[in-house]
Chains A and B, each alone.
Chain A
Amino acid sequence: MTEIAAIRGLCGGALIGLAAAVVLVVHGRIAGVSGIFGRALDGGEGQPFRQGFVAGMVITGAIAAAVAPSAFGGGVRGLPGLALAGLLVGIGTTLGNGCTSGHGVCGISRLSPRSIAAVATFMLTAALTVAIAGAHR
């Protein structure tokens, strides 16, 4: 990691924390991307919030890709491997009610025992998976 990468990591993280704080202050909700995305097509009062948040992320990704294409890396595995990974992430985040943002950023910030247990578990299995399946960098 270079010094620039470290500064970018901290600043990018601060922006993520700011966005999550806005979600709490304005919408009264936890900024967990898996939960927001998973329920974006349900009915109910939270829909404008969920659909707006997802739309904002995807559109910003499109703009960022046009401005700085190198900010996006390619897949580290073939498409079958990525499909398997996506399936596991969909199943796992639905069962476990959260991912890196909801449990990681918001849950740890609130010192939620559930989130701390979830983060410890997924960090462990993710590191084990890389150790076994290879880093493929």
Chain B
Amino acid sequence: MKPFVAAALAGAVFAIGLVVSGMTVPAKVIGFLDVGGAWDPTLALVMLGAIAVYAPIARIVQRRERPVLSERFHWPTQRGIDARLLAGAAIFGVGWGLSGYCPGPALTSIGSGATSALVFVAAMIAGIAITRAVDRSDGR
């Protein structure tokens, strides 16, 4: 029960951050990506604010032996920059640029009941399921 409640609180703070910063307004996100148009730099400030808080804490935490509610740290294990990473990132960027939704703001927006977010997230689930099914058949 403890990990669920602690994670729910973290998810809530994360979502409040997205709402406060305006990232649940797809047109605002598109405005950041519209470099040649009326550029809106807000998203860069959001990233800056997030990294300014996270980076120093992550640096200190790296020296600790274990997290509060888990046996160990689950650091990413993959290291190399491969074609799969770059292709995936490129495909993600196209979907993000088309819609102004990345996963965090989309999930927060389904709470608002907006049809646009519901359709986006349903299709996102399909995309995740298809990719994982292909991976399984390839034995990954």
Contact check: which of A13, A31, A77, A104 meets B45 at CB < 8 Å?
A13
Q: Is the CB of B124 within 8 A of A86?
A: yes
Complex partner residue of A9 from B22, B55, B73, B125, CB under 8 angstroms: B22
Contact of B46 among A12, A30, A45, A129 (CB under 8 A): A12
Q: Please, how many residues of chain B have a CB less than 8 angstroms from a CB on the other chain? A: 114
Instruction: Identify the B interface with A (CB < 8 A).
Output: 1, 3-28, 30-31, 33-37, 40-43, 45-55, 57-58, 61, 66-70, 72-76, 78-81, 84-104, 106-117, 119-132, 135
Q: In the bound complex, do residue A95 and residue B91 qualify as a contact, i.e. CB atoms below 8 Å apart? A: yes
Interface residues of A in 27-81 (CB under 8 A from B): 27-31, 33-34, 37-38, 45-46, 48-65, 68-69, 71-77, 79, 81
B112 & A100 in contact (Cβ 8 Å cutoff): no
Question: Which residues of the partner chain A approach B78 to less than 8 Å between Cβ atoms?
Answer: 97, 114
Q: Which residue of A57, A76, A90, A118 contacts B15 across the interface (Cβ within 8 Å)?
A: A57
Task: Name the contact of B123 in the complex, choosing from A37, A71, A90 (C-beta under 8 A).
Answer: A90
Residues in B whose Cβ lies below 8 Å from that of A17: 17, 49-54, 57
**Does A64 lie within 8 Å of B112, measured CB to CB?**
yes
Min CB–CB distance A13 → chain B (angstroms): 3
A12-B46, A84-B123, A90-B127 known; A79-B115 Cβ under 8 A: yes
* A127 interface neighbour in B19, B35, B46, B69, Cβ under 8 Å: B35
